Structure 1
Amino acid sequence: MGMQDIHQLMDSEDATALAEWVRRGEVQPGELLETAIERLERVEPQLNAVAERLYDSARQATRTSQVGQGLLAGVPTLIKDLFSPVHGAAMTNGSRALGDFRADFESEVVTRLRRAGCQVMGTSTSPEFGTSYSTESARFGATRNPWSHDHSAGGSSGGAAALVAARVVPFAHGNDGGGSLRVPASCCGVFGFKPSRGLMPSGPIVGEGWAGMGTPHSITLSVRDSAALLDATAGMDLGAPYAAPVQALPYVMAVQADPKPLRIALVEQLGPWPTAPQSLQAVGEAARLCEALGHRVEPVSLPVGLLEFLDHVFTIIGASSRHYVDLLGQMRGFAVQAEELEVRTRIILRDKGNVSGAQYAAAVEWIHALGRQLAVFMQDYDVILTPVLTREPVRIGELDLQDVCMSLDQLIERYHSYSPFTALFNASGQPAMSVPLSWSADGLPMGAHFAGRFGEESTLLALAAQLERAQPWRGRVPPVNACRR
């Protein structure tokens, strides 16, 4: 098949379809890789979404039989540069403090993606330590939204979302500790899914990210790709501290039929910060679509004190960040200096980096109690529907803090008045997703956010696939794109 034909395939096909072409022998893995490289180079100057190109190692891997086999045979992808080591690649975690550290091992999720046939062609950008809803860093600069150069691609998996939305690759790896898959998916008009706590492998470098709030997965063009990726990667890794139940049937089976009529709790407001009219309109459109598909939607309020919740979350983030920074100093032989870190990280370390063990334990117990409280709430509902964000995607610079005198409370308001909904379900461990169902009057994507019961990924995936069939989004391509039209 000619290069032009492969471009046409990648313009419209998802990873599942591309893998079928490879398995049939009609497209070679090397051809897919070279096409993806050309597509990346076409848009990267406008997006700034790549941390490091790994073209040579990817080309070398095409000579092995593994990439032409497996569930995702030959599909090119990128790995997020955040606590997800790729053998031989720089792992900066979005920070200047890590210098040129290169791992001589790989995270288990990368190993499983390779086993499924994926070709790792690079790493994607992340803000420092993944603690921002905008992918901007002193190390890499700002990753821009393919729908608008002036707006953020979201964070912290912003590089992944921008590349998928721009049709460079059909999926890209990311991770999510407070909305880091769902926020950028919403900002860029693609599908973002966060699995249940413990369903995905985090090792060997991480036992449990942020007391179990963090989990890897991917941002995808289609719902079935997200399900296929779960089939390829889900399940505890060796020595994991705990594990969520893996469903007996393949996750891809969940997307093949509509779900039963669901009871959906609609939450339009959470905490002290208002939800803007454009977000209310978007979540209202999602609710009406669900009702048209036969589901029952009921407006509710969640029994959560958001400010108290966020204080406990930042106790965990602060203690974890202190550990990361101290460990880095031990690894390199000299302590990390404040000027090596970004203002946001310095504020978190200043106010929460020296909490006591008792304070950390109390924060973990608090969020575990919240998980139990929400599990009781979910006895009456199958799904919770909220906005992903309280407003349109922010402009570049709005979340790039420069004032080190800012208080932690001001930092929390800056970030969580923008996204008060997503972190809640990291703390509770529930699966959650952003589904691209609406665009604002200015042409910016506005995702709808759904959370399900713990361990019930299939319910969410079935609902997402039903929504995708009813209101497809793959035909909406942003102005910055790699397509040949």
Structure 2
Amino acid sequence: MSAPEIPQSCHVFCNDALGRDDATTLAEKIRRRELSITELAGAAIARAQAAQPLIHGVASADYDQALQTASTLDAATQVGSQPLFRGVPTFIKDNTNVTGLATRQGSLAVPEAPASDTSPFAQQLLAQGVLCLGKSTLPEFGFNATTEPVHAPATRNPWNLAYSSGASSGGSAALVAAGVVPIAHANDGGGSIRIPAACCGLVGLKPTRGRLIDNEAAASLPINIISEGVVTRSVRDTANFFEQAESYYRNPKLPAIGKIERPSGRPLRIGLVLDSINGHITDDITRRTVEETALRLEKLGHRIEPVPVPVHSAFPDDFALYWALLAFGIRANGKKLLHPAFDKRRTDGLTNGLDRMFRRQFWRLPAALWRLKHSWHDYAHAMAGFDAVLTPVLGHATPTLGHLSPEVPFDTLFERLRQYVSFTPLANATGAPAISIPMGRTPDQLPVSVQFMGRHGGEHTLLDIAYTLEASHTWPLLCDSNRHKFTTDDSLKDSLANPV
């Protein structure tokens, strides 16, 4: 008997409790008692079980506990105001602690031991009422730009299963794009919210440094490049997430984002960057998508002006060295930082190669750190006359699986990563906010996205732009594109039989 044919793409949108609704609509239906939380959790679990054999976005599941919690929430008497996203199912990335669930960091080097606590940011996320179904996949320690761990199946892009879902929040992005859940946790140390959002056609906002509560690892870095957030299918879910996050914790040093429900119509001055500082030319489909977005904004009354990249020419090498420093630190101190049973002999080729690179170049670190810290001032000065800057998210369209695998020889892999991840790291080093928005398609029907970078504290403006583009250029869900819908188990066919 021949092996079953693998479909080109997959989604699990259907006429169940989740439908094709975003998180905001689902939460409204729960509040109006049109849906129970148990019903919604059951639908999400059925979708996750159907999608997992092909997209592999779930690192570990806690479905029984999620259903038990959902039942308890349904039985509880609601008194006073409730969290906005109460009962909406989600996944939390597997580099963030949730009590009782293992945090493997996408690595064989970390043992599968349940966490004894819930990380500070996870507490901020869960305070919004979301129901955690389990952990989503990531590449080892979040270092790679594709979610292809050596010890587990690659996380596939739902739009085309032969391609990468991005990283390091690739599991979350794949699950949201495929319709398993409407919102999922992501974090970003060099583009890891924006890259998978771009690959999977989602909205991904990396906030200003300090906007949300930092987890312990971020707070201990010499330069905190890590930001927390979510990936979503609608601008309003992202906007509502940040508005609700501020009700849990508000950084008094930053202007409030507040509630944003629609575009303001205010004309903006927006800079335009097409090619990265590292010398690599942006590919044709990405460049065309950025240029078309600029033209669209001009027609809507905004002013677009080409600008140079606001950073020192040494930035690509400096950030690469900092990236390597993190790998060196984990391999050298993993037993203290991650788990007493951490085994550095089991780290993958990318982590090992970065570690070796740092050991060869460590003498450059003091000057590199000085320039990276100073990049905040360079960026703020360059942005003084602009509301935002429009750039590609990535140097070229989403690659096929294998192109960025950690099993590729390190020198080849590292050069590929430098060409691909050439626009996102600047926001991490400078602490600026940046958002990824889907605006085009490749011939292989993969999303192509653009990035807007804002002033420090300027998330409100970025969400304003995102609302404007969503209203004028509504991006399709995967189920809108007449793509292949699949089921993998006869027992699930009844619940997934009626595509939306």
TM-score, scaled to structure 1: 0.90
Quick check: 2:198–2:393 contact (8 Å CA) kept in 1?
Answer: yes
Aligned to 1:76: 89
Please tell me the residue identity of whatever aligns with 1:396: L
**For residues 283 and 217 of structure 2, what CA distance do their matches in structure 1 show?**
40
Relative to structure 1, is the Cα distance of residues 99 and 314 closer, same or farther in structure 2, using a 3 angstrom cutoff? same
Bigger drift between 293-302 and 360-369 goes to 360-369
Quick check: 1:201–1:234 contact (8 Å CA) kept in 2?
Answer: no
- In the TM superposition, what whole-angstrom CA distance separates every residue of 1:123-181 from its partner, at most 9, and x where no partner exists? 11000010111111113221101111110011111111111111111111010011111
1:122 counterpart SS class? strand
- In the TM superposition, what whole-angstrom CA distance separates every residue of 1:93-137 from its partner, at most 9, and x where no partner exists? 110000213211011222122222110001110000101111111
**For residues 289 and 180 of structure 1, what CA distance do their matches in structure 2 show?**
27
Relative to structure 1, is the Cα distance of residues 138 and 25 closer, same or farther in structure 2, using a 3 angstrom cutoff? same
1:103 counterpart SS class? coil
Question: 2:19 matched to 1:11?
Answer: yes
Aligned to 2:469: 467
**For residues 13 and 318 of structure 2, what CA distance do their matches in structure 1 show?**
53
**For residues 204 and 365 of structure 1, what CA distance do their matches in structure 2 show?**
23
Please tell me the residue identity of whatever aligns with 1:459: T
- In the TM superposition, what whole-angstrom CA distance separates every residue of 1:205-245 from its partner, at most 9, and x where no partner exists? 5425572111110000111111111123248979xxxx574
Please tell me the residue identity of whatever aligns with 2:296: L
Aligned to 1:55: 63
Match of 2:29 among 13, 16, 21: 21
Question: 2:232 matched to 1:220?
Answer: yes
- In the TM superposition, what whole-angstrom CA distance separates every residue of 1:343-389 from its partner, at most 9, and x where no partner exists? 00001111115865x85443332112112111111012111101112
1:417-436 alignment to 2 at 5 Å? 417-436=419-438
Relative to structure 1, is the Cα distance of residues 447 and 344 closer, same or farther in structure 2, using a 3 angstrom cutoff? same
Bigger drift between 66-75 and 289-298 goes to 66-75
Quick check: 1:51–1:125 contact (8 Å CA) kept in 2?
Answer: yes
Please tell me the residue identity of whatever aligns with 2:212: M
Aligned to 1:281: 288
- In the TM superposition, what whole-angstrom CA distance separates every residue of 1:31-62 from its partner, at most 9, and x where no partner exists? 11001111111211110111001112212222
Match of 2:50 among 30, 42, 54: 42
Question: 2:273 matched to 1:261?
Answer: no
2:295 counterpart SS class? helix
Quick check: 2:52–2:58 contact (8 Å CA) kept in 1?
Answer: yes
- In the TM superposition, what whole-angstrom CA distance separates every residue of 1:236-280 from its partner, at most 9, and x where no partner exists? 979xxxx57454462xx3232324111111100112111111111
1:141 counterpart SS class? coil
**For residues 217 and 143 of structure 1, what CA distance do their matches in structure 2 show?**
20
Quick check: 1:199–1:236 contact (8 Å CA) kept in 2?
Answer: no
Aligned to 2:307: 300
Aligned to 2:445: 443
- In the TM superposition, what whole-angstrom CA distance separates every residue of 1:444-464 from its partner, at most 9, and x where no partner exists? 100011101010110000110
Bigger drift between 24-33 and 294-303 goes to 294-303
1:174 counterpart SS class? strand
Aligned to 2:5: none
Quick check: 1:383–1:450 contact (8 Å CA) kept in 2?
Answer: yes
- In the TM superposition, what whole-angstrom CA distance separates every residue of 1:57-96 from its partner, at most 9, and x where no partner exists? 21222244499731101100000112x1111111111100
Please tell me the residue identity of whatever aligns with 1:151: Y
Q: How many pairs are equivalent? A: 469
Quick check: 1:32–1:76 contact (8 Å CA) kept in 2?
Answer: yes
**For residues 248 and 320 of structure 2, what CA distance do their matches in structure 1 show?**
27
Question: 2:375 matched to 1:370?
Answer: yes
**For residues 178 and 322 of structure 2, what CA distance do their matches in structure 1 show?**
35
Quick check: 2:176–2:182 contact (8 Å CA) kept in 1?
Answer: yes
Quick check: 1:322–1:354 contact (8 Å CA) kept in 2?
Answer: no
2:448 counterpart SS class? strand
1:142 counterpart SS class? coil
Quick check: 2:173–2:196 contact (8 Å CA) kept in 1?
Answer: yes
**For residues 90 and 118 of structure 2, what CA distance do their matches in structure 1 show?**
15
Identity %: 35
Relative to structure 1, is the Cα distance of residues 381 and 9 closer, same or farther in structure 2, using a 3 angstrom cutoff? farther
- In the TM superposition, what whole-angstrom CA distance separates every residue of 1:3-33 from its partner, at most 9, and x where no partner exists? x999455232110111011111221111110
Please tell me the residue identity of whatever aligns with 2:475: W
RMSD, aligned α-carbons: 2.6
**For residues 137 and 220 of structure 1, what CA distance do their matches in structure 2 show?**
24
Quick check: 2:218–2:226 contact (8 Å CA) kept in 1?
Answer: no
Relative to structure 1, is the Cα distance of residues 319 and 248 closer, same or farther in structure 2, using a 3 angstrom cutoff? closer
1:137 counterpart SS class? coil
Relative to structure 1, is the Cα distance of residues 329 and 237 closer, same or farther in structure 2, using a 3 angstrom cutoff? farther
Aligned to 1:149: 161
Q: Which runs of 5+ in 1 are unaligned?
A: none
Q: Which runs of 5+ in 2 are unaligned?
A: 1-11, 487-495
Quick check: 1:109–1:233 contact (8 Å CA) kept in 2?
Answer: no
1:216-255 alignment to 2 at 5 Å? 216-234=228-246, 245-248=253-256, 250=258, 253-255=259-261
Aligned to 2:4: none
Quick check: 2:218–2:224 contact (8 Å CA) kept in 1?
Answer: no
Alpha-carbon offset, residue 311 of structure 1: 2.2
2:421 counterpart SS class? coil
- In the TM superposition, what whole-angstrom CA distance separates every residue of 1:301-342 from its partner, at most 9, and x where no partner exists? 214355x2122223322333333233333465567343x011
